Chains A and B, each alone.
Chain A
Amino acid sequence: MTWTAVLALAVGTYLVRLAGILLRDKVTLPHRLARLTGLGATALLVALVATAALTEAGGFAGWARPAGVLVGGVAAWLKVPFVLVVVLAAGTTAGLRALGVA
């Protein structure tokens, strides 16, 4: 890793972040497009949840992680407080791993 690489990634990442935020103002979005940007964020976040819960380096992540996410998801659906959802998910996965489940 070099300073040039880190600075390039930092500048590039920042510009990508800022571009979306500023673009939102530059163009007055018609209602239909405004709705699609919101749904687009939902699409990205659900895709992140699915891939982060189930995959690792392009393959299956093993059973412990999706089991923890599932427990957390059910807890959230039952309106368990957010902090507890996070703890339950991590605890389930950690417990399963301690028992030898990958």
Chain B
Amino acid sequence: MFILAAMCSARRTALGRGDLRDALALGAAITVVGMSFGALAAAAGVPPLLAVAMSVLVFAGGSQFLAVAVVAAGGAPVAAVAAGQLLNLRHLPFGLAIGDLAGRTLPARLLGAHILIDENVAFARARGTGPRARAAYRACGALLFVGWNAGTVVGLLAGSAVPDPASFGVDAAFPAALLALLLPSLRAPDARRVGLGAAVVALAATPFLPPGLPVLVALLGLLLAGRTEAER
């Protein structure tokens, strides 16, 4: 259904066939990760319906893995929610940056907000700020949503029969995909300075801070933004 809707919207809008193919690649990769989430949730004793509800309603992979891991390690549900929420705080500055890429009317935005994830933000931003970027945001978000949830269901059903996604190198696919989507924007000198600063800060902070915070303190990289000609 969603895939059909995404394809139809592709025909009606500025979305190219290449865009759809690229979004499908991300969708395929996230399906594999979704399967491993389903398998992990089953192994951790999370009731299947609850695991599916989590994938549908939270739809933020990192925080879902983290929350299940916290509970599996004997942590309180409150601690799991806090850890997951901390990891998801980065979505606020993402929302600020993408603005109407998520939709122009209120209903579109209410829906668009739910499919705001890292890959989708990078995917849409790599396509500018116009109709094509908005269509890319919708289509990629819908495919990622379908892939993640379908993967979760398959993982729950297959349980321990799901092979470790690390053996497919999926953990390298996502940072590589994000990097590929980011490269064009890093041609601007200010973006390169900020990005380099952000990477250094995040890596230096990772051993000392809980998941989620290193990426947020990486916003310190903005100190290297400098001023544009017009601002001087």
Question: Do A and B actually bind?
Answer: yes
Binary A-proximity of B110-124 (CB < 8 A = 1, otherwise 0): 101110101001100
Expressed in whole angstroms, the minimum distance between the Cβ of B102 and any Cβ of chain A is: 5
- The answer on a CB contact under 8 Å between A69 and B194 is no
Q: Is the CB of B185 within 8 A of A42?
A: yes
Question: Known contacts A17-B114, A77-B183; is A69 also within 8 Å of B175 by CB?
Answer: yes
A8 touches B110 (CB 8 A): no
Q: Which of B44, B58, B68 contacts A13 (CB 8 A)?
A: B58
CA distance A87 to B53 in the complex (A): 30
In the complex where A36-B225, A43-B198, A49-B199 touch, is A89 in contact with B172 (Cβ < 8 A)?
A: yes
- Bound Cα distance from A85 to B121, whole angstroms: 18
Size of the A side of the interface (Cβ < 8 Å), in residues, is 76
Supposing A2-B77, A6-B53, A31-B230 touch, asked if A43 and B222 sit within 8 A by C-beta, the answer is yes
Contact pattern, B 85-111, Cβ under 8 Å of A = 1, otherwise 0: 100111111111111101000000110
Cα-based distance from A21 to B90 in the complex (angstroms): 12
Q: How large is the interface on B (under 10, 10 to 19, 20 to 34, 35 or more residues)?
A: 35 or more
> Which chain A positions have C-beta within 8 A of B221?
43, 46-47
The one of A18, A24, A47, A95 in contact with B214, judged by C-beta atoms closer than 8 angstroms, is A47
B154 to chain A, nearest CB (A): 19
Residues of A within 8 A of B (CB): 1-10, 12-14, 16-25, 31-32, 35-55, 58-59, 61, 64-69, 71-73, 75-77, 82-83, 85-95, 97-98
Q: A10-B57, A45-B122, A48-B90 are in contact. List 16 more A-B contacts (CB 8 A).
A: A1-B47, A1-B77, A12-B81, A14-B113, A17-B95, A18-B110, A40-B97, A40-B219, A42-B185, A44-B94, A52-B178, A61-B171, A72-B172, A73-B179, A82-B22, A90-B169
